[in-house]
Amino acid sequence: MSWQSALACWFLRRRFHPQTLQPTISVEHARALTAKRVWSPRVPRGWTLREQYRPDDTPLRGEWLEPPASSQAAAQRTILYLHGGGYYFCSPRSHRSLVFELARRANARTFSLEYRLAPEHRFPAALDDALAAYRRLLVDGVSAGSIVIAGDSAGGGLALATLVALRDAGDPLPAGGILFSPWTDLAATGDTIRTNNGRDPMFSGPAVARAAQFYLGDTSSMHPYASPLYADLHGLPPLLLQAGDTEVLLDDTRRVAEKARAAGVRVECEIWPEMPHAWQIFAPFIPEACKALDNAAAFVNEATSTRANQPSSETSIV
């Protein structure tokens, strides 16, 4: 564990963990805290940040990070990124440090989606927005096999739910999915909700089920599109999952990895010692975040290259 990650854990425990110990969760406080702490990292040299936040920018409302025009390889890879934040706070701006570093390391054009947030827009609003954004990319001429859908925390669960919903609808599937500390079980049934309670520097175990209600409303916490742990995972593209071993949501990663492998999906599952929830967002400050994103970038390149070399009959699920 680097001193940088130790410092990040100290910061998270002081700033976030006390809030998740409260009997109620304040949407307004979470949004205000995030907005106050949003900082804008420098756009990678030669890259272009193109913001699309006008009302008529849907379904691609958010921001593009585009590589230099001279980078031909990047034109062949697109990352659709879904930010975390419990479905009720955060934004593409709050996750720029992660997205910028992932895009640069993968040399891939990246779109970070501003999906609608709960409780104003409950399930399935976020999923509908993710599906619409992916389908718009296809309409705009982006090859399904050149796309990787990625996300962290709630965005990681949303990325997996998007893959499941695309498969169920018969859409062409992307080349792969990347799930950073994904929230895949809104019913909060994992053993680590209890066993890692107190070890996790960011969340308390009991807060998970409380937070889920903002998004779920009257929807069952085991609905497979809200909690993709309960979905049939057969036929999905390759997955990369990363989680820290002290997270209360650790079992949300481990159980998905086990279930996906049993369904015949190619899965890479990395459990990192003593890393906080979604530590990749601390890149480039934390060395472990940089290494994790290097692994994710390698996955993007391998998954898209493999799909590019497959016959078209092998790249979609019927």
Per the residue annotation, which of 101, 114, 247, 288 is the catalytic one? Answer: 247
Per the residue annotation, which of 83, 143, 146, 277 is the catalytic one? Answer: 277
Taking the C-alpha atoms of residue 198 and residue 265, their distance in angstroms, rounded to an integer, is 33
- Strands 239-244, 109-113: pairing is unpaired
Tell me, yes or no, if 277 is annotated catalytic: yes
Taking the C-alpha atoms of residue 126 and residue 84, their distance in angstroms, rounded to an integer, is 11
Tell me, yes or no, if 153 is annotated catalytic: yes
Per the residue annotation, which of 143, 153, 204, 227 is the catalytic one? Answer: 153
Active-site annotation, residues:
153, 247, 277
